[in-house]
Homo-oligomer: A and B are copies of this chain.
Amino acid sequence: MARIVMKFGGTSMAGMERIRNVAARIKHVVGQGNEVAVVVSAMAGETDRLVGFAKEASPLYDPAEYDAVVASGEQVTSGLLAMTLKAMGVDARSWLGWQLPIRTVGAHNKARISTIDTTELLKAMSAGQVAVIPGFQGVMDTGRISTLGRGGSDTSAVAVAAAVKADRCDIYTDVNGVYTTDPRIVRRARKLSMVTYEEMLELASVGSKVLQTRSVELAMKEKVRVQVLSSLDDPTQEELPGTLIVSDEEMEAQIAKDSGMERQLITGIAADKNEAKITITRVPDRPGAVASIFGPLAEASINVDMIIQNVGRDKGETDVTFTVPGADLARSLDILEKQKESIGFNRLINDPKVAKVSVVGVGMKSHAGVAATMFKALADRGINVMAVATSEIKVSVLIDEDETELAVRVLHSAYALDAAEGA
């Protein structure tokens, strides 16, 4: 017996036939003797429809009214799922955000969960009643409905799991787990049975969009074991079918226990084409010059990522290259152009056709030579590295966008991540 939070996204809740499938899955998990809470999204398309109304009402809509409008999508699916479960003979009831309550702080439309009152919830769950909770919503101290921002249902599920001290938070998505890399790029990509929170964050933030980043951060903070799995996976099988996201300690313990499992140096390869490169030429090489470049960008909330400074050009001058999110390129150039005099540069060169490819793995903390392997593998195939950035568990390189898929395949093989043929 375990206490499990199950989360279903909009695709799984789109229409009564799918809601019945979800209910059948829950019934099976309940039948195994587990205590279950379920967090649901709105039907696919419904939130867009409601947001459309709000935007039509006013481009500068009132954020509190917006929340009351869009939160209704999850209210509907939670009620429908609860009644479907009851019709199947599974005791269930819906608990809206304001009913539990799920208290939130911060601003409407992007609120953060502060506390979840579990008194009634735990009473119901321990009595064998499935608690169906709409994701994405909560209630402010003002008594008004709040929402967490798009994709917030993953975060709701992790927060509920933390509050009820669940053994696991199972997040059902349209993929059946986290892979060593995008299987559309590398046919022999392997599904990972376990990754750490840190690895998941690096894989997510550089492009493997499976879970909302905020939900992984919350899971890490609250030590919630999260499983990513597909609604098509068979829930009756013994072993967990998806990818388990856990702490470093649990990963270590699992490796120690399972003699057949070897700690991989590299867990996965991520690629992100949403980067753009900016080079500022002939910046005066004096104290404060860099601050005068990055200060105005930071003020505009533009996230500067990789930075390289080419020293040793003409005496007293330097070129500065860095990346920004592709969506912020035009705005960045505009801001820098306005600072031309105060920075005192010569030219602004930009290149939106770049990609960031990263190798990620907690294993590299204790191994040298990861970066060297990476550079050699890329150089052997003639792939030019424009910039490098490293963290404790990640090495990223900036390359020509056209070479993204090639680089991912090369690195996937170089770190021996390919599945055995036929596996």
* A interface list, Cβ under 8 A from B: 16, 19, 50, 53-54, 56-58, 60-62, 64-66, 68-69, 72, 75-76, 78-80, 82-84, 86-87, 93-94, 96, 98-99, 143-145
Residue from the list B64, B79, B144 in contact with A68, Cβ < 8 A: B79
By the criterion CB–CB under 8 Å, are A86 and B62 in contact? Answer: yes
By the criterion CB–CB under 8 Å, are A65 and B82 in contact? Answer: yes
Take A58-B84, A58-B86, A87-B58 as given contacts and tell me if A53 and B76 are in contact as well, using a CB distance cutoff of 8 Å: yes
Kindly provide the distance from the CB of A11 to the nearest chain B CB, expressed in whole angstroms: 17
Q: How far is the CA of A56 from the CA of B64 in the complex (A)?
A: 32
Q: How far is the CA of A65 from the CA of B69 in the complex (A)?
A: 19
22 contacts between A and B (CB under 8 A): A16-B53, A16-B56, A19-B57, A50-B76, A57-B84, A58-B86, A58-B87, A61-B83, A62-B83, A62-B93, A65-B82, A65-B83, A65-B94, A66-B83, A68-B75, A68-B79, A68-B94, A69-B75, A69-B79, A69-B83, A72-B76, A99-B143
Q: Closest chain B residue to A120 by CB distance?
A: B143
Take A57-B19, A98-B98 as given contacts and tell me if A80 and B69 are in contact as well, using a CB distance cutoff of 8 Å: yes
Kindly provide the distance from the CB of A316 to the nearest chain B CB, expressed in whole angstroms: 55
Residue from the list B57, B64, B72 in contact with A75, Cβ < 8 A: B72
**What B residues does A98 contact at CB under 8 A?**
98
Q: How far is the CA of A144 from the CA of B69 in the complex (A)?
A: 19
Take A68-B75, A143-B99, A144-B99 as given contacts and tell me if A57 and B16 are in contact as well, using a CB distance cutoff of 8 Å: yes
**What B residues does A50 contact at CB under 8 A?**
76
Q: How far is the CA of A16 from the CA of B58 in the complex (A)?
A: 10
Kindly provide the distance from the CB of A145 to the nearest chain B CB, expressed in whole angstroms: 8
Q: How far is the CA of A145 from the CA of B62 in the complex (A)?
A: 24
**What B residues does A75 contact at CB under 8 A?**
68-69, 72, 75
Q: Closest chain B residue to A98 by CB distance?
A: B98
Q: Closest chain B residue to A143 by CB distance?
A: B99
Kindly provide the distance from the CB of A98 to the nearest chain B CB, expressed in whole angstroms: 7
**What B residues does A16 contact at CB under 8 A?**
53, 56-57
**What B residues does A94 contact at CB under 8 A?**
65, 68
Q: How far is the CA of A234 from the CA of B72 in the complex (A)?
A: 34
Q: Closest chain B residue to A73 by CB distance?
A: B72
**What B residues does A68 contact at CB under 8 A?**
75, 78-79, 94, 96
**What B residues does A87 contact at CB under 8 A?**
57-58, 60-62
Q: How far is the CA of A57 from the CA of B18 in the complex (A)?
A: 11
Q: How far is the CA of A76 from the CA of B71 in the complex (A)?
A: 9
**What B residues does A69 contact at CB under 8 A?**
75-76, 79-80, 83
The 10 closest A-B pairs by CB, nearest first: A58-B87, A69-B79, A72-B72, A68-B79, A65-B83, A16-B56, A65-B79, A62-B83, A57-B84, A65-B82
Kindly provide the distance from the CB of A48 to the nearest chain B CB, expressed in whole angstroms: 14
By the criterion CB–CB under 8 Å, are B53 and A65 in contact? Answer: no
Q: How far is the CA of A324 from the CA of B78 in the complex (A)?
A: 41
Q: How far is the CA of A189 from the CA of B69 in the complex (A)?
A: 42
Q: How far is the CA of A56 from the CA of B53 in the complex (A)?
A: 26
Q: How far is the CA of A75 from the CA of B76 in the complex (A)?
A: 11
By the criterion CB–CB under 8 Å, are B80 and A93 in contact? Answer: no
Q: How far is the CA of A350 from the CA of B143 in the complex (A)?
A: 58
**What B residues does A65 contact at CB under 8 A?**
79-80, 82-83, 86, 93-94
By the criterion CB–CB under 8 Å, are A80 and B96 in contact? Answer: no
**What B residues does A19 contact at CB under 8 A?**
57
Kindly provide the distance from the CB of A44 to the nearest chain B CB, expressed in whole angstroms: 14
